[in-house]
Amino acid sequence: ETGVTQTPRHLVMGMTNKKSLKCEQHLGHNAMYWYKQSAKKPLELMFVYSLEERVENNSVPSRFSPECPNSSHLFLHLHTLQPEDSALYLCASSQNPVGTDTQYFGPGTRLTVL
Amino acid sequence: AQSVTQLGSHVSVSEGALVLLRCNYSSSVPPYLFWYVQYPNQGLQLLLKYTSAATLVKGINGFEAEFKKSETSFHLTKPSAHMSDAAEYFCAVSEAWNTGFQKLVFGTGTRLLVSP
C-alpha cells in the first residue's frame, strides 16, 4: 500500500466515548500532521510531529490527544468530545516540516459526535 | 501572520470554458504558495506550488498559476475545463512558527462546478 492511509473512514461516537483515529504513511517522511476540516471553515492545523516529537500544538483542547509511536504512524485519541467536534479529520505527511515540502494527505476520517 | 483569501466559494463553468480561481495572500516575507485540490470523499492533493523560482508555475491536470507580487495574487487557471475538474480547490501559504518550523495556512476553498 502506498501514500497516506487513515482508519476508520467513518466514526460515530457519543460524547462519553473514547476512540482513536489511526494514520499510517508509506512515504518515508519525517513529519506528520493532524488537520480538522469543518464546513465553511479553513483547514485547521492541530498537531505537527517531526521525527516522532511533537513540534507544535495549535491550541487544541485536551480532549484531543495525539500519539506518534514511530515515524510511520500517528494516532489521535478522542475522549469526551462535543458535537462541535464533528468534522473531517485529515492526516498528512511531508519529508520535513518546512515551507517548501509538499504535504501528502490521507482520505480523512469523517467523525460524527452525537 | 500570513493569510489567504479565496474570492468566491463557488465557481461555475461550462465544459471547455476557461477556469479561473482567485487567491490573494498576505505575507510579510517572500511567500511559498500552494494550490491543492480535494475530490469528493478524498484528501487533498497538490496541484502546484510556488517556491520563488519561475513566477508561472505549471501543475498537474493542465492547471497553472502565476505569482504576481505587485498584486499579492496567485490565481489558478486552466484553459479548458473538464467534467473531472469538479472539486474543491484550496490555496495555501506557508507560515513560519516560533520553533523554526513552518505550517500551511489555508483559504476557505472554492468549489468548482462544471456543467456539460
Chain B hits for A42, Cβ within 8 Å: 4, 105-109
Residue of B nearest to A6 (CA): B43
Average pLDDT of every residue of chain B: 92
Residue type, A38: S
Instruction: Examine the pLDDT at A2 and tell me if it is beyond 60.
Output: yes
B9-54 pLDDT per residue, tens: 999 999 999 999 999 999 877 789 999 999 988 899 999 999 877 8
Q: How far apart are CA A66 and CA A60, in angstroms?
A: 10
CA-based nearest residue to A107, from A14, A19, A24, A20: A24
pLDDT tens sequence across B2-17: 889 999 999 999 999 9
Reported as a single tens digit per residue, the pLDDT across A58-105 is: 789 999 999 999 999 999 999 999 999 999 999 999 998 887 889 999
Inter-chain touch A100–B97, beta carbons under 8 Å: no
- Which three cell numbers mark B81? 475545463
DSSP three-state, residue B73: strand
DSSP structure string for B6-47 = -S-SEEEEETTSPEEE--EEE-SSPPPEEEEEE-TTS-EEEE
- The answer to whether the Cβ–Cβ distance between A99 and B109 falls below 8 Å is no
Closest approach of chain B CAs to the CA of A28, in angstroms?
Answer: 18
B94 part of contact set with chain A, CB < 8 Å: yes
- Count CB neighbours of A45 within 10 A: 22
More reliable by pLDDT, B99 or A44: A44
Distance from CA of A98 to the nearest CA of B (A): 5
Rounded-to-integer distance, Cα B116 and Cα B111, Å? 17
Q: Could you read off the pLDDT of A38-65 as tens digits, one per residue?
A: 987 889 999 999 888 887 777 899 999 9
Instruction: Give the residue from chain A lying closest to B104, CA to CA.
Output: A99
Task: Tell me, rounded to whole angstroms, the distance of Cα B92 from its chain centroid.
Answer: 7
